[in-house]
Amino acid sequence: MPSKPILFLLTCLLYLPQNGEAATLHRCEGADGSLTFTSMSCAQGERFSTQEIHPYSPGSVVAVMPEANHEKTSGMGAQGREPGIIGGAEHICGNVIDARQRREAIINRRVIAGMSAQDVESALGKPDKVNIRTSTTTYRYDIKRGRTAQIDFDQRGCVKEKAKFRTAKSPR
């Protein structure tokens, strides 16, 4: 038979509230879209709404996601569609070539129109000679057997046309 203190404790537990009391917080949304949750009032110019917060009670089960209706989803066919690009990055050379073409050119050590100076250096390394004129820059690479490659850039630092290869003429 349980002793009196244990019996008293069990009786007290029966009278405890089952759910914890909810706390009320103020949700303040600024003009720039920033959110602040506070127990105090919102700043002037912020949109105000109240949020009730229910504390977690041990032993309770909270569903994170609603159950899926398998009858509706099982017969759905996957429809192939190209993903939409929202806010795609604009390359400094104006997207003359796409990222795949740029990557393949760098890997294959080729220079094509629309590449930036950084792309050329990624493909071929640092140039042997740099010539800067009023609105154009020219990189020169000395290749084996007296050959040179010349790459001309416009005022934005973009390749105008593919690299020109020249053979140095030997003195006679």
Q: What is the pLDDT of residues 14-68, one digit of tens each?
A: 665 555 566 788 888 888 888 888 888 888 888 888 887 777 667 766 666 667 6
Per-residue pLDDT, averaged over 145-158, amounts to: 84
Residue 136 belongs to a domain: yes
Residue 38 belongs to a domain: yes
Question: Residues 66-117: pLDDT tens digits?
Answer: 676 666 655 555 566 777 666 666 667 777 788 888 889 899 988 888 888 8
The number of distinct structural domains making up the chain is 2
Residue 88 belongs to a domain: no
Residue 74 belongs to a domain: no
Q: Which of 8-12, 24-28, 77-81, 124-128 has the highest mean pLDDT?
A: 124-128
Per-residue pLDDT, averaged over 125-149, amounts to: 86
Q: What is the pLDDT of residue 107?
A: 92
Residue 46 belongs to a domain: yes
By residue range, what is the domain housing residue 47?
Answer: 23-52
Instruction: State how beta strands 164-167 and 23-29 pair.
Output: unpaired
Residue 159 belongs to a domain: yes
As to burial, measured by CB atoms within 10 angstroms (0-12 exposed, 13-18 middle, 19+ buried), residue 151 is buried
Residue 143 belongs to a domain: yes
Handedness of CA 36, 39, 42, 47 (dihedral sign): positive
Residue 99 belongs to a domain: no
Q: What is the pLDDT of residue 172?
A: 44
Q: What is the pLDDT of residue 15?
A: 62
